Amino acid sequence: MTFDADTWLATAYVDPAVYELRPDYRALLVVAEGLVPGGSDAMSEAILAKAEKEALALLGDTSVTEHPHVHAWRETFRAFGAKPQRTRPSVEALLRRISEGLPRIDRLTDVYNAVSIAHAVPLGGEDIDHYRGPLRLVRATGDEPFDTTEGGQPAVEHPTVGEVVWRDDSGVTCRRWNWRQCVRTRLTDATTRAVFILDALAPLSDDALSSAGEALTNALSATSPPVQLASRLLAHS
């Protein structure tokens, strides 16, 4: 079956129970086709190094946990039972490491990490070709499988009841909203089609979220000139 980005995006949704927790939540979904994967290179290095400098300037003398958007995410993690001291929102985990430099992983991950830290927005990327059914954000029942590794070997975990998770028909794709991605849908050196998820809470404005999305699409276009892009904003009506 031919893949159509707009049709796939149209099936994505946020469960009402998530909006009951945070009615201000928005997710900007960006689908990219025709990506050029591979190891970190000079272009992805330049983008990430520039973002590290921008993020340091953005924080200034403010501690990471006092940044308004990071603080909102920490409070939200607590609201569904997660402890942010142990399982940090993804953007906090990245921002805590910028003074010593983020690890260079691969050109796609480096690019989305750059946008995440420069705009203080949780941002993850997933390989669409390993999805089964629609992407959706729900509160877990606790029996959904989450593919991970333990001691270097494949393992399956399950989220806690009420945990906020991204999932598809086969199971959880990302635990605790934006804490940890599963093995099955993670980006690899073979990924050419991906969905990127930008998570926003108040006080981050719609304009700021849009700017982060534009930065991502510009970076993807620069590093993968053949790329075709589509997007959709999920928000409480």
Buried b (16+ CB within 10 A) or exposed e, 158-195: bbeebbbbbbbebbbbbbbbbbebbebbbbeeebbbbb
pLDDT for residue 1 is more than 90: no
**Which is higher by pLDDT, 237 or 104?**
104
Quick one: pLDDT band at residue 2, thresholds 50, 70, 90?
confident
Q: Which domains does the chain have, with CATH numbers?
A: 5-235 (3.50.40.10)
| Predicted pLDDT of residue 220 | 98
Percent with pLDDT over 70 in the chain: 100
| 85 Cβ contact partners less than 8 Å away, ≥ 6 residues apart | none
- Look up residue 186 and give its DSSP letter: B
Task: Dig out the tokens for 81 from the structure.
Answer: 């039972």
Distance CA 184, CA 173 (A): 8
pLDDT digits over 14-46, tens only?
999 999 999 999 999 999 999 999 999 999 999
The sign of the dihedral angle between the CA atoms of 192, 178, 200, 5 is positive
pLDDT for residue 216 is more than 70: yes
Quick one: pLDDT band at residue 237, thresholds 50, 70, 90?
confident
| Amino acid letter, 28 | L
Q: pTM higher than 0.95, yes or no? A: yes
